[in-house]
Structure 1
Amino acid sequence: MKVAALDIDGTLYPGALGLQLLQALTANGISDKSKSEDVFKVVEKYHFNEIDFQTMATSAYTLFAEAIAGISQAVMQCIARQVWQQERTKLFPFVPKLIDILNSQGYSLVLISGSPDEIVCCLAEEFGISKYQGSIFATHQGKYTGKVNLLSGSLGKKYSIFLQMIKDWRVNLEESLAIGDSITDTALLQ
């Protein structure tokens, strides 16, 4: 079996779906506005080279978790689906054809993204990709706790996620491929 592991943000989509989700949660008065703004400030610091990637990722995910603390998981999933319906038209134009080509060439597709699993799920469902993983935020009794369970966008994490995803498959890594665009994808690309 050969596998194609695909990143989303910056690779299939020209931005970060997780940030779009956070903006929608804030715009709808669902998430804490000041904590949401803190996420965007940290990302901005990274873009201006004021902090390194790992500092940005750790801080941004922690702040994201705090911004969604207390929100119902069902509400988050609902907003994620709404955001996906708005953002799906912004996928890079090559994406449907790429997925068709990979499927026709016999690749089993997996998605691994730093964006929240709730929105990664939407893209996976649209393209019929059964194995996917985004960041996971802790919940208790159906509400987010303010903690991060899986920071899939941290350095080196995507490779271990990939290995876990394919553990029951007989994968030929020499015939497999990965497509990504950032430092978080390097361990997987290697």
Structure 2
Amino acid sequence: MRRLAVLDLDGTLTPDTLGVLLVRELLARGVCEPELGREFMSNVERHHAGCPDFYTSLAEVYQSLGRAAAGVTVSTVERAAEDVWARARGRLFGFVRPLVRMLKSNGFLMALISGGPIELVHLVAYELGIDVYRAAVLDIRNSRYTGRVLQGPGLLGGKPSILRELEVLHHVRLADSLAMGNSASDAEVFRLVGLPVAFEPSEELADLAARHGWRVVDRHDVLRVLPSLLARGAEGEDSHAAR
């Protein structure tokens, strides 16, 4: 069975919130209702401030993203996403590409599970050579967004559900798999894998990491810390195989 490496995106591989950059671009192009775009930005700020709580505020972010995109054509959003990524790709943390190479060389199947819009996430996954990806998906009818949100990975239970899907689809052993993220939604994934890594965690995730003994890293030490963690994971994999 394979080992899976699950990476979060916003705040983990990049300092940006890519969905915010996308809505800003739609506003700049005049294709998004200004009031709905501002509502989305306000909800993102409330979420980052922890108001009223992580999952409630995140649900509001997703709903307002759907409203902001309602009526816009898919081709318009895709072109905007390409332009956003062309600018944002240079802001990936410096460790990201070496990290992906390290994990691939250790035999991991790479997965990007992000709460951001799939129109941007798939561009990131393609550029980094990520094997599989999951992201926020908005409903489309007649080549336009309807305003409905079909999938929000960051919502309660969202990332674990995706992880279970990948476990079956790709014959993955979660006990030998790795996950790295920075927010409370990643904690749900950490509880299912053998190698959880909290990257520059939010206050809530930092508290959980201390309670559960999860490894905490930052952008400066992640490439130094991971090899020893992977070595211990490989030893665990060997012990499973010997049974």
TM-score by length of structure 1 reads 0.96
Residue in 1 that maps onto 2:154 = 153
SS at match of 1:31: coil
Residue in structure 2 matched with residue 7 of structure 1 by the alignment: 8
| Other-structure match for 2:145 | 144
Task: Return 96-105 or 151-160, whichever deviates more.
Answer: 151-160
Is contact 1:155-1:183 (8 Å) kept?
no
- Using the alignment, how far apart are the partners of 1:136 and 1:22 within structure 2? 15
Query: Quick one: higher RCO (CA 8 Å, sep 6+), 1 or 2?
Result: 1
Aligned positions of 1:13-162 closer than 5 A: 13-162=14-163
Alignment check: 8 A CA contact 1:111 1:133 kept: yes
What is the CA-CA distance between 1:14 and the residue it aligns to?
A: 0.6
| 8 Å CA contact 2:50, 2:57 repeated in 1 | no
Distance, in Å, in 2 between the alignment partners of 1:37 and 1:31 is 10
In structure 2, how many angstroms separate the alpha carbons of the residues matched to 1:172 and 1:166? 7
Letter of the 1:48 counterpart: A
* Post-superposition offset of 1:33: 1.2
CA shift for structure 1 position 171: 1.3
Greater mean deviation of Cα atoms: 117-126 or 73-82: 73-82
SS in 2 for 1:110: strand
- Aligned CA RMSD, in angstroms, stands at 1.2
Distance in 2 separating the partners of 1:75 and 1:134: 19
CA distance in 1, matches of 2:131, 2:78: 18
C-alpha distance in 1 between matches for 2:15 and 2:187: 19
Q: CA deviation at 1:76?
A: 1.0
- Compare 135-144 and 70-79 and name the one that shifted more: 70-79
Please report how far the alpha carbon of residue 81 of structure 1 lies from its aligned counterpart in structure 2 after TM superposition. 1.1
Of 136-145 and 47-56, more deviation after overlay is shown by: 47-56
Name the CA distance, whole Å, in 2 between partners of 1:141 and 1:165: 30
Which TM-score applies when normalising by structure 2? Answer: 0.75
Q: Verify the 8 A CA contact 1:38 1:63 in the aligned structure 2.
A: yes
The alpha-carbon deviation at position 174 of structure 1 amounts to: 2.1
Q: Measure the CA separation in 1 of the matches of 2:48 and 2:122.
A: 27
When the two structures are aligned, how many residues end up with a matched partner?
Answer: 190
Deviations 1:5-34 (A, max 9, x none): 110011101121111111111111111111
Q: Would the aligned equivalents of 1:2 and 1:106 in 2 still touch at CA under 8 Å?
A: yes
Query: Within 1, Cα distance between the matches of 2:59 and 2:175?
Result: 32
Separation (CA, whole Å) in 1 of partners of 2:33 and 2:173: 46
Cα gap change, 1:49 to 1:178, in 2 (>3 Å):
closer
Unaligned ranges ≥5, structure 1? none
User: In 1, are the aligned partners of 2:55 and 2:155 still within 8 Å (CA)?
Assistant: yes
State percent identity of aligned pairs.
Answer: 35
Which residue type is aligned with residue 12 of structure 1? L
State the AA in 2 paired with 1:88: R
Tell me the amino acid that sits aligned with residue 80 of structure 1.
A
Contact 2:47/2:61 (8 A) holds in 1: no
Residues 52-89 of structure 1, C-alpha deviations (whole Å, 9 max, x = no match) = 11221111111110111011112111111111110011
